[in-house]
Amino acid sequence: MTDQSVINTRRRRPEARPSEIIDAALGLFARKGFDATRMDDVARAAGLSKGTIYLYFPDKTALLKAIITKKAVENLSSKTADILASAQTSAEALRKFLALIAFNVENTDLPNLLKLVIAESRAHPEIGRFYLDSAIGHMLPKVEHIIAQGIARGEFRAIAPALAARSIVGPMLFAALWKAVFEPVGAAPINVAELAQHHADIIIRGLAP
């Protein structure tokens, strides 16, 4: 009708800017890699001009860090807690946990995020460190806790929870990288949910007293 209807860049809630930029950038970084993505590409994808990005992020690396920070926390399922709490047995908790990870692997940026962290952590150690602290540092203990609880309840035999946890999440890492790295170059798609369920079967039997 009037100018009102024109989506004016200068009028859009500017508080949302950083988030818009981050989303645009993750898409590109994940698809093309950090180095191969130009700041110009990010700007265009965010509907802004190159210079504007620098009003919100001091440099390209800061943008990468912001992405990891935001997405790692987002994926860091606040849901996890709820879902686990609702499980009646440790075996059920394990199944639900693996199903949740599988869902994230199949439906979120998690695989690409992981790939990004792996690829860039040498050049930007803080990235690796941050992901280690926030994402992994939160996940592994939860699994270890499930195991320990299962042992305490007599559901599982006495094994080392730290090692078992890695036995449990390893195949999910496998699935994530398969999706992010190998499927794009022609590997047969993997059914992550099925793998998670099958893996849970083996593990739960393997942990039985």
Binding partner selected for residue 154 from DNA, a second copy, none, CB under the kind-specific 5 to 8 Å limit: none
CB of 63 to DNA, least distance (A): 8
CB of 176 to DNA, least distance (A): 26
**27-66 footprint of a second copy as x/- string (CB under 8 A):** ----xxx-xx------------------------------
Among 16, 62, 73, 123, binds a second copy (CB under 8 A): 123
Measured between alpha carbons, how far is 103 from 82 in angstroms, rounded to an integer? 16
Residues in contact with DNA, counted by CB under 7 A, come to a total of: 26
DSSP characters over 196-209: HHHHHHHHHHHH--
Nearer to DNA, 14 or 125 (CB): 14
Computed on alpha carbons and rounded to an integer, the radius of gyration of the chain in Å comes to 20
Stretch that binds a second copy, among 47-55, 62-70, 89-97, 166-174 (CB under 8 A): 166-174
DSSP class of 133? I
Angle of helix 137-153 versus helix 90-107 axis, rounded to 10: 160
Among 32, 38, 79, 198, binds DNA (CB under 7 A): 38
> Is residue 52 involved in binding DNA (CB under 7 A)?
yes
Helices in 47-123 by DSSP H: which ranges? 50-56, 60-75, 78-85, 90-107, 110-120
List all residues 6 or more positions away from 132 whose beta carbon is below 8 Å from its beta carbon: none
**Helix, strand, coil % in the chain, rounded to nearest 5:** 75, 0, 25
Binding partner selected for residue 186 from DNA, a second copy, none, CB under the kind-specific 5 to 8 Å limit: a second copy
CB of 9 to a second copy, least distance (A): 17
From the list 147, 201, 139, 197, the residue with the least C-alpha distance to 169 is 139
**180-209 footprint of a second copy as x/- string (CB under 8 A):** -xx-xxxx--x---xx--xx-xxxxxxxx-
Nearer to DNA, 40 or 201 (CB): 40
Residue 157: Cβ within 10 Å count = 11
Where does this chain bind DNA (CB under 7 A)?
8-14, 17, 35-40, 43, 48-52, 54-55, 58-61
